[in-house]
A and B are shown apart, each in its own frame.
Chain A
Amino acid sequence: MKGPSIRLVTRRQLLGMGLVAGGAAAAGGAALVNLLAGAGSRASAVPSVGSAVGLATPGPASTPPPLSTWVTAPRIRPVKDLAARRLVVIDMAGGNDGLSMVPPIDDARYRRLRPRTALDPASVLAITPGVGLHPGLPGLHAAGAAIVQGVGITKPDLSHFEMLRRWWSGDVDSVHQTLTGFLGRLADHVGDPTAAAAGVSLGYGPSPALISERVVTLSMDPYGDGSFPAPAGLDAATAWTAAWREMAEYDPSEPVPFCSARNGAAYAYRFSQLAGGLPAAATGYPETELGAQLLLAARMLARDNGVRIVHVPFHGDFDSHEDHLARHAALMTELDDALVAFRADLAARGIADRVLIATTSEFGRRVPDNASNGLDHGAASFAFLAGPVAAGLYGTYPSLATLDADQDLVATVSMLDYYATIAESWFGVPASDVLAGHPSPIAGII
């Protein structure tokens, strides 16, 4: 869900070409300032919200329980070689309700605040006596995950588009106005600038989350094969390819739209070579769009082809202002089914120890429900990291007794600390290189 266009100045337009291909700006010779430089001086204004945030009444118990109590699968140890590690981010745009994904089991306030949309406690898949997973997530429950409780932003906004911007940019207070995406910056640090793509979004059109400066990032239609079509006939096909390459030649003296158009063609051609060499698809995936996306993600990550980050826009409608229970349940089932197949595929390919799975969503939902059995826009939510992680509950369960002025959950873990965990604990990239505000990784997950 992208908001209305933002007017960009010339250098921003060049950076905007990062949407097309991140390498373009650097290739053009522009010495781009480190957009995060100087951000550290603002650190005091952006407090890291750890579990120490004073809550009048704590939520349910949150100590990570021993693995054996709820996870049945053996733990996957992460591959030691940092250069072998990859990331898959499943973005649940629209506002995934954390209280439904990781519900409290025995909390009278939950049922009082949500008379129409609370889950039946008997159906919840227990993690601890007080906290569990949505009944539609049995696969995740069996395999385990590092569940990050109360993740959000200190001063949240209730607009999808403002919060999406903060999440894709990794810009927590909307002050830095970062022009690159968090995943794009990560790709800049871990990716090879000569690769056909260091980051790929499996959606219909580019994701701002992958806007980069040094490496190429691009998008691919999840049902496409990335191949480069040419007309029939050897002479026509030869002439076609030659003319295409000639027209794709980058010329910095031309206006920005021409540069973008030519670059788009050039990177498409290069990427089509990579896409043509992907290993065969596995079977066993559900016939959902998320299934198709994760199937393609596994193929893309199976070989050393330069792709380090795959962004998966989950196109389900998480914006459940109406009929929350049934709609959210269908989405949880779709997520779980696709993840089970994906993790089996990764294991069969021998790369389960190389791929970290992370979820994002711009906000959770309002705690009290509305008259149309739905939930309006909220604030803090829950996310999880899956794969080679230590399963457990991390951070503090957000309080249902002390809500913010809009009746929303108060964040107990900053989005920045969540992102720092991915950058630093997984990729070995110092969090301060890619995030402002000196965030710290959440200890113990990787």
Chain B
Amino acid sequence: MAVDRVLAAHLLRRATFGPFPGQVAAAAAAPTFDAAVAALLAAAPSPLPAAPDLTLKGAAPISWWLERMADPGAGLTEKLTWFWHGHLTSSRAKVNDWAALWRQHLLLRTHALGNFRTLLQAVTVDPAMLWYLDGGRSTADAPNENYARELMELFGLGRGSYTQADVTAGAYGLSGWRLDRFTGTARFMPANGPRHAVTFLGRQVSSSTEVVDAVCDHSDCALWIAGKLHAYLAGEPPTPERRAKLATLFRAGNLEIKPLVTAILADPTFPTARLNRPRYPVEWVMAAMGAFGLSNPAAATRYLIAAGQVPFRPPSVAGWPTGMGWLAPSLALARDAVAAKAPAIEAVAGAQDPVSAALERCSLFEVSDRTVAALRSAAAGIGNAQRRASTILGLTVASPEFALA
């Protein structure tokens, strides 16, 4: 093997919903770590299954997405689609239209590794977004400020890069879109839109396109996106110097997302940033189910409800928080409920050393002595091979190592 399995597993934890069993060995066969990154970026995702049932009752899109994430061939695109869902958020809790949310999902999927400006322009007038952030009835006479503020505070620039006057002007520039909630479509009504140019972020704008362009052209935009994507993939915010370099690269590349992702994953600091953040609940449950050899969207959804990370239901427009809060006691109990139902799979039950087999199955290649000792004494205390196998696999999934990304 040319790439250390520890590093191959790290790359797959961050850039996909895996590693799924067998994937680490394949990634480790690449000649160098950079080659493994390049292979991940070049891999075409497996074909998408047919669209889910989009009738209002039920939650088929959630199951559809969890099933898709459980596909080992879904790869980097899936992870980036999830990232954008947490960044350019909309929630089913408010948007009472699965079809509109599904079209937004496809938009995020299409542009997940594409161009940020194209994505932000499209999301700004996307019907589900107009619904979620109240742009669908905003008129120039009394503009609704919701989208204008979040466009700058959360989506494009970050706090401190704009004033309340920019929020007011942005809301004016964005006005005039009309959402039809029955058809889930939106169109621009010139009579309700801007009648003159306004000063927004230091330039004159008179349409939603110009508002979004002004955000994308602002020097803080590339910094904001580079910082957030780095924090997600590398598990920690970049240093100011690193962030500035990434932003320069992002701007020079015309806000193309793929080169930014490549630069983050291929940076010499990336391989050392291991196990420095929690596996967020969606990542954790996908990896756990993968180790169990199951795709069980219903069980995954039950866990995600308890953990507070249900797809299409972000807790706020800021998406899901990051940080150590996901290792809190209530989350430990929720993980335990999944782990305690581990199956007795042959890869563990039939192994000479079930503890090593369980660790390999879970792609854990750097494990504390304490965890190994705990697993070994548990294995020694259970006579029945099947029950030993399920218990050891469950405890491995419940270990602190598996809880980290």
Contacts and interface: CB of A to CB of B under 8 A. Distances in A.
B253 interface: no
Contact of B391 (A231, A368, A370, A406): A231
A322 B134 contact: yes
B322 A4 contact: yes
Interface residues of A, number: 78
Given A203-B308, A239-B391, A247 B382 contact: no
Contacts of B139: 371-372
Interface in A1-51: 1-5, 7-8, 13, 16-17, 19-21
Contacts of A223: 305-306
Interface string A252-289: 00111110111111011001100000000000000000
Nearest to A3: B318
A257 B276 contact: yes
A238 B381 CA distance: 8
Nearest to A19: B325
B398 A244 contact: yes
Contacts, number: 243
Interface in A323-371: 368-371
Contacts of A374: 134, 144
Interface stretch (A52-60, A138-146, A153-161): A153-161
B318 A4 contact: yes
The main secondary structure of chain A at its interface with chain B is: loop
B48 to A, nearest CB: 29
A246 B399 CA distance: 10
A85 to B, nearest CB: 25
A50 B326 CA distance: 40
A226 interface: yes
Given A224-B306, A243-B377, A247-B398, A230 B330 contact: no
Nearest to A196: B329
B332 interface: yes
B404 interface: yes
Nearest to A262: B400
Interface stretch (B36-44, B212-220, B367-375): B367-375
B153 interface: yes
Contact of B329 (A219, A233, A322, A372): A219
B316 interface: yes
A56 to B, nearest CB: 22
A138 B133 CA distance: 31
B333 A321 contact: no
Contacts of A20: 324-325, 327-329
A197 B136 CA distance: 45
B332 A205 contact: no
Contact of A229 (B158, B316, B336): B336
Interface in A55-101: 93-94
Contact of A159 (B149, B329, B330): B149
A372 B174 CA distance: 14
Contacts of B378: 239-240, 242-243
Contacts of A161: 153, 159, 318
B173 interface: no
Nearest to B276: A257
Contact of A228 (B316, B333, B399): B333
Contacts of B138: 370-372
B117 to A, nearest CB: 21
Contacts of A226: 333
A371 B144 contact: yes
A158 B149 contact: yes
Given A204-B315, A243-B377, A243-B378, 15 more contacts: A3-B318, A4-B322, A158-B164, A160-B316, A204-B306, A205-B331, A231-B341, A235-B384, A242-B374, A242-B378, A244-B395, A258-B400, A319-B146, A368-B142, A370-B142
8 contacts: A3-B318, A4-B321, A16-B325, A231-B390, A235-B382, A247-B395, A319-B146, A377-B145
